[in-house]
Structures are given as structure tokens and as C-alpha cells.
Structure 1
Amino acid sequence: MARGDKYIELKRYLQRSTLPIITLSFKDIEQIIGDTLPKSAYDHAEAWWANDYTHSQAIAWIDAGYETDYVTDIYENEKVTFVKR
């Protein structure tokens, strides 16, 4: 599997959107990608959801033209907000 392939459906989902801000629950994202998120997405959320192009998951949203934001929501509600760049 090439880097970021697990998250290709998330990339496609974001690319199809015209919304400037999208908030998705972790469960929503799991449905979109058709797989569960790794434990680290929950346990180390701030680092895992960082806009770091060296992480395969971040390739999906960065290549789709989004960045993650509102990291406090990640811990409290298991949601992530993507903001169009």
C-alpha cells in the first residue's frame, strides 16, 4: 500500500466538498475510509491529527487542500475540524 492509500477515501471526500470548514467525528471518518482508525488517533490525538506531511494520514487532508484545526475538540468529543487552506 502506498503512503496515504488507507486514507484515499478521506482525501476524495474532502476534495468533493465545497465547504470551507468540515467537522467530522472519528466514527464518520472510519465510515468514510472503510476501516478503523489506529489507537494512536485516539490516544495521541494532537500529534496524530497534526498537519505533518510526513504522516501518511495527513497526506489525505493536505493534498485535498485542508488543514486540521480545533484540536481541543479532538480530546473532548472525538471530532476533528478541517479548514480549507
Structure 2
Amino acid sequence: MAKYAPLATFLRRQKRAEVDLTFRDIERIVGGILPKAATMDGWWRADPSGSQMPQHVAFADAGFVAEPQTRAETVRFVRMDADRSPSRLEQVDERNGTV
């Protein structure tokens, strides 16, 4: 998880239930280039029957799951613990630039 520890730290600091990041954003956060495999959905999604990869451990450790949109080179991280997240209305308002 060492390479993805900065991403876990970043995600833990987020107050919203969903965080959208581009691959470039993620590369800046981790301080390195994502592997070529990151262009495939399976790299982002944990397989419950398989071994956990370092990136999966980092997301889960921060309380998030990844919803990749690899063609757009973006990932939406969704908080697993809805009790700590702002309401859906607040999220929509933030995205629209209104409060």
C-alpha cells in the first residue's frame, strides 16, 4: 500500500461522500505514474474472492470504493460509510457551485 498511502490520506480528509479524480490528479497525489493496468476497470475494483491489491487496500482503508470510468480516465471514489457523509442535497449544491 505504500505507493497508494498518499491517496488513502487524501481520501480520508474528504468530507463528501463522493470524490471524482482524474488519473492525472491521482498521479499527482501518489507522486508517480499509474501503471498501464489502471486503464482497465478490473484494476480499480477489488475482487472479493481474490487477493487484495495495494490500491484496493488503500481505498478500503480510507473507507472508499472506486468506480472507474477508464475511457474518461477518471475515478469516482464513493464513501462506504454513509453516516459520515454530507446529505445528497449538499453534494448536488457543491457540484453546481451553490450552497
Q: TM-score, normalised by structure 2?
A: 0.73
Q: How does 1:60-71 map to 2 (within 5 A)?
A: 60-69=58-67, 71=68
| Residues 51 and 62 in structure 1, CA contact (< 8 A), matched pair in contact too | no
In structure 2, distance between residues paired with 1:14 and 1:61? 8
Q: In the comparison of the two structures, how many residue pairs are matched?
A: 77
Provide the residue aligned with 1:47 in structure 2.
Answer: 42
Which residue matches 2:78?
83
Show structure 2 runs of 5+ residues with no match: 81-99
**Partner Cα separation in structure 1 for residue 36 and residue 41 of structure 2:** 13
Aligned-residue sequence identity (percent) comes to 36
SS of 2:32's partner is coil
CA shift for structure 1 position 5:
0.5
CA RMSD of aligned residues (A): 1.2
Cα distance in structure 1, aligned partners of 2:46 and 2:78: 11
Larger Rg: 2
Please list every run of 5 or more consecutive structure 1 residues that lacks an aligned counterpart in the other structure: none
TM-score (norm: length of structure 1)? 0.84
Contact kept, 8 Å, 1:11 with 1:63, in 2: the verdict is yes
Residue type of the alignment partner of 1:58: H
